[in-house]
Structure 1
Amino acid sequence: MSITRRRFIRNASLTAAAAAVAPSLFLPGAKGAWGATLSKGKPIKVGVLFSLTGGLAVPEEDSALVMQYAIDEINAAGGINGSPIEPVIIDAKSDMNVYSEKMRELILRHKVISVFGCYTSASRKAVLPTVMSQRNLLFYPTCYEGAECSQNVICTGPLANQHSRDLIPFMVKTFGKKVFFVGSNYVWPKESNKNAKLWLEQAGGELLGEEYIPLGSSEFGPILNKIRAAKPDFIFSTVVGASDIAFHRQFKQEGFSADKMPIASLTTGEIETRAMGNEFGAGHFLSAPYFQALDNPTNHRFVEGFLASKYGKNGTTHYNMEETYTSAYVFKAALEKAIAGHGIEEVTPAMIRAAAAGVRLEDSVSPEGAVWIDENNFNTWLVPKIGQCQADGSFKIVSQAPSQVAPDPFSIYPDAGKCTAEGLKAANGSIRKDVI
C-alpha cells in the first residue's frame, strides 16, 4: 500500500506551519527559547500533563498518579546524578485546547526539560507544535497509530503492528471471520482501523460495518442496532475513555453477550473494567504489552508497592500506567547517559532524546518484561500479549508473542520511507522532519 499524495501534502503543510512558529530546528546542542539548565543537586523539573477531570480522566488520572509514584521511587534511590526529579503536574481537563495551552506553560513558564503525558493522538497532535518549536521532548506512554517520525517524541506504548496485528487474526481464528468496527471519532481509531483492515484481509476476515462516535459521547443505541442487524462474530473496538465504559455497559444491557459476540479492544483494561463494573467487562479481550496479572517478581513488586502507596487509591494497575512507569525509567537512563557525555549543565532535551536510543530496561526494572527503545524511530521493542477479562476484572493472558517485536510506525505505508533518528528518510535519500 502506497502512502497517499494527500498525506505528503498534509505533512508538508504542517511542517511549514511549525517552521513559521519557530525558525530554529531541534538540534542536539541547542537550548530552548526558555534557556532551561540543570545543575548538580538541584531539582530536575519535568512536566506531567494528563487529564485529571473530564471524559479522558478514567485512564489518564492513574497515569499521572503512577508517574508520581515512579518519581518518588527514583528520588528515594538517590535521584538522577544526585538531583531529585520535581514534577509539575497539570490537569489537561480532557480538552485539546487546554493540552496545547498547558504544554506552552510547562515549557515556557515552568522550564521543564521534558514532559510526560497525553493519552489520545488528538492530544499528542495538539501539543507537538509547541514541543517541536521549543525543542523540548515528549514522553508519550501509550499505544498509537504510527505513521509519524517525530524527532521530539519517545513512545513507550505499542504501535499498531504490536497489538492489532496479533489481535485480529487471533479473533478470526477463535470466533469467526465476520467483524464490526466501532471507534471514537478521531485520528487514532481511524488510522488504527486502516491497519486492522489490512490484517483482517490477510486473515481471511470480512468487515461488516464501521462506525465512529464523537469523543466523549455515550449513546450507542443506533450503533448497537446496526451490530444486531449485521450479526458479526466479534466487534473490534477503538472506543476510548468514558465512551468505552458506556459502550460496554450498553452492549450488555441491550442483550448482547461476550460468549457469543465478544469485543476485542485496544483500550479496555483493568481501569475501564473497574469503572464500568466487572460484569460488563468479563469475557471480552484486550491486546496490550502489560496486564496486572503478569506473573513475575518485578510486576509483583510494582503492583504491591503502587497499590500500597498514597497514589494507589483506585485499586488497580493498567497498561497505560505501566507504560508511564517505564517512561520514567527510560528518562532516568537517558538523562544519566547525557550527563555522563556532556556534563549536567550542558544537557538539553535533544541530548536526552539522543541518549535514549537503545536504552534497555531489563526484567528487573520493567514490569512487562525487558523492553528497549529503538535506535531509529524511538518507539519501544516489546512483547505483544492478548488477555481475556475474567469475572473478577483481572485478565487471563491467552496469547503472547514469543519475543520482543520491533516497532514499525510505517507498517502499512512501506513507500513512505524509513524512520531514522534524523527524520523520515525517503528512497532518494532525502530526509523530512515530521512535526505532525
Structure 2
Amino acid sequence: MSIQESWKIGVLFSTSGVTSIIEQSQLNGTLLAIDEINAAGGVRGRSIEPISYNPDSVVSCYGEMAERLIVDDKITALFGCYMSSSRKEVLPVVERRNALFFYPTLYEGFEYSPNVIYGGATPNQNSVPLANYLMGAFGKRIFFVGSDYIYPRESNRVMRNVLRQGGGEVIGERYYGFDVDEEGFAEVAREIVEMKPDAIFSTVVGQMCIDFYRAYHAAGGDGRICPIASLTTNEAEIAAIGPEAAVGHITAAPYFRNISSPANRKFLKAYNAKFGSVRDVTSCCEAAYSQMHLFATALEEVGEMDADRLHEALLGATFDAPQGQIKIDPDNNHTYLQSRIARVDEQGEFIIENKLRRAIKPDPYLVYPKIHDWNFRTQKVKQFPV
C-alpha cells in the first residue's frame, strides 16, 4: 500500500508535559489499533496513516494543531486530548471546519457536539456508582481535592449533588495549579489527616496525582483506613506512586488491566508485543484503542473520509472491546460503557470489587439517574491489614 493510497487521520496526544503519562498510553492504544487494522488489510485495501503532533500538554496548542491538521494536512478525522480544557480548544475548530473528533477520555459531561464521538465515561457511568460505593462502604463525610481547571471543578459539582442525594456532605474542597509538587500538597495532606474524613475524592490529574498521593502517605494518610477515591487515577499512575503509598486507594472506571476475558488477553498480548510492557495500559488507553477500531468499521462501510457520512455510520456501532461490548449511543454520540470500581492491593494492583451486570447508557446531562439506581453485583470489600 503506498502512502498516496492511505487514509490519513490526525492524532493529538502529548508525549511530553504534565499529562503525558496518560496521553502517551492513549497514543499507544491508537497506534496499536492502527497496526491491527493495517495488518488485516486496512480499510478497503488501504492503510490508515496517522499524522501526529505533540501539543506538549499546553492547552492552547491543541486547538492550533487541530487547525493545522484540518487546513494544512487536509484531514477530516482527529483523535486526541485528555484534559477537558484541551478538548474545549479543539471543539470550535472541528465544528467550524466540520471535521470528526474522537475524544477517548472520561469527562464531566454536560456537552454535546455533532462533530464529537465521546469514548470516555460520563458522570452517570462513574461518579454516581462511586458515590454510592463510598457512602455505603466508608461513610458520608468526603473531602475534595482537584487540579484547577474545567474537569475537576465540574466533576466536583456533579459529585457534590450526587452525594447530597444520598445524605453525604463535602467537608473540604481545595484546587491546585499544575505547578504544584509533592511539597505543595503537604499542607492539605496534613489538614485531611487531622479532619479525618471518611474518604477523599480526588480530581487531581497527571504528575500532580502522583505527588498528591505521595504527600498524603507522607503525612500519615492510609488508604486502608481513609482512601483516596478517583475517576482518573489508573494503573500508570499507581505504578509511579508505588504500592506502599497506593494501597487501599480506589478508582471507578470502565476498564482495568486485570480484567479476565479473551478480548482483554488478546489486547494485552498485542500491546506487550508492540511496546514491551503493559505497565501503562489504562482505561484511557483502552478507550483510544476501541475508538480507532470503531472508526475503521465505519470507514469500511462508508468508503470515504466524509465527516457527515462517517458520523451517521458510527451511531449505534458496536465493538467487542477489552472492557466488554461497547456501543455508540445514537441519541447523544457518547458510548455505552461498563462500570467497575477497584481498590489497590498491597502489590500495587487494582482488585475489582464492584461492577454492574450491563453496560450503562451514557447520560451526559444526568437527566435520569439517582444515587440508588444502580444494582451492583457487589463483592465483599477486601479488608486491608493495617
Match of 1:207 among 170, 173, 186: 170
When structure 1 is superposed on structure 2, of 328-337 and 77-86 the one drifting more is 328-337
C-alpha contact 1:55 1:216 (8 A) present in aligned 2:
no
Aligned match of 2:341: 386
1:60 has 2:18 as partner: no
1:154 has 2:117 as partner: yes
User: Offset of 1:215 from its aligned partner?
Assistant: 3.0
Aligned match of 1:427: none
Q: Deviations 1:168-194 (Å, cap 9, x if unpaired)?
A: 110111111111011111111111111
Matches within 5 A, 1:203-352: 203-218=166-181, 219-309=184-274, 311-312=275-276, 315-339=279-303, 344=304, 347-352=305-310
Q: Secondary structure at the match of 2:324?
A: coil
1:78 has 2:30 as partner: no
Q: Deviations 1:128-180 (Å, cap 9, x if unpaired)?
A: 11111111111000100111111110011100110010001101111111110
User: Offset of 1:228 from its aligned partner?
Assistant: 2.8
When structure 1 is superposed on structure 2, of 206-215 and 234-243 the one drifting more is 206-215
Match of 2:315 among 357, 373, 398: 357
When structure 1 is superposed on structure 2, of 211-220 and 380-389 the one drifting more is 211-220
User: Offset of 1:301 from its aligned partner?
Assistant: 0.9
Structure 2: distance between partners of 1:74 and 1:41: 18
Structure 2: distance between partners of 1:59 and 1:175: 29
The residue type paired with residue 354 of structure 1 is E
Normalization by structure 1: what TM-score? 0.81
Structure 2: distance between partners of 1:110 and 1:159: 32
C-alpha contact 1:41 1:82 (8 A) present in aligned 2:
no
Structure 2: any 5+ residue segments left out of the alignment? 370-386
User: Offset of 1:413 from its aligned partner?
Assistant: 9.6
C-alpha contact 2:268 2:278 (8 A) present in aligned 1:
no
Structure 2: distance between partners of 1:361 and 1:273: 28
Gap change, CA 1:194 and 1:220, over 3 Å in 2: same
Match of 2:98 among 113, 135, 138: 135
Q: Deviations 1:67-107 (Å, cap 9, x if unpaired)?
A: 11110111000111111000011111010111111111111
C-alpha contact 2:224 2:247 (8 A) present in aligned 1:
no
Gap change, CA 1:271 and 1:131, over 3 Å in 2: same
User: Offset of 1:41 from its aligned partner?
Assistant: 8.1
Q: Secondary structure at the match of 1:88?
A: strand
User: Offset of 1:113 from its aligned partner?
Assistant: 2.4
Q: Deviations 1:247-280 (Å, cap 9, x if unpaired)?
A: 0111111111011110000111101111222322
Aligned match of 1:51: 14
Structure 1: distance between partners of 2:363 and 2:3: 38
Aligned match of 1:192: 155
User: Offset of 1:313 from its aligned partner?
Assistant: 5.0
User: Offset of 1:230 from its aligned partner?
Assistant: 2.3
C-alpha contact 2:103 2:119 (8 A) present in aligned 1:
yes
The residue type paired with residue 60 of structure 1 is E
The residue type paired with residue 319 of structure 1 is S
The residue type paired with residue 321 of structure 1 is C
Aligned match of 2:360: 405
Gap change, CA 1:216 and 1:119, over 3 Å in 2: farther
Q: Secondary structure at the match of 1:302?
A: helix
Q: Secondary structure at the match of 1:79?
A: coil
Structure 1: any 5+ residue segments left out of the alignment? 1-38, 415-436
C-alpha contact 1:78 1:84 (8 A) present in aligned 2:
yes
For this pair of structures, how many residues does the alignment match? 366
The residue type paired with residue 242 of structure 1 is Q
Structure 2: distance between partners of 1:225 and 1:338: 57
Query: Root-mean-square deviation (CA), in Å?
Result: 1.8
User: Offset of 1:299 from its aligned partner?
Assistant: 0.2
1:181 has 2:144 as partner: yes
1:123 has 2:78 as partner: no
The residue type paired with residue 361 of structure 1 is F
Gap change, CA 1:358 and 1:62, over 3 Å in 2: same
Structure 2: distance between partners of 1:390 and 1:231: 22
Aligned match of 2:351: 396
1:108 has 2:67 as partner: no
When structure 1 is superposed on structure 2, of 125-134 and 283-292 the one drifting more is 125-134
Normalization by structure 2: what TM-score? 0.91
Aligned match of 2:383: none
Matches within 5 A, 1:3-22: none
Gap change, CA 1:413 and 1:97, over 3 Å in 2: farther
Aligned match of 1:423: none
Gap change, CA 1:250 and 1:302, over 3 Å in 2: same
1:372 has 2:327 as partner: yes
Q: Secondary structure at the match of 2:92?
A: helix
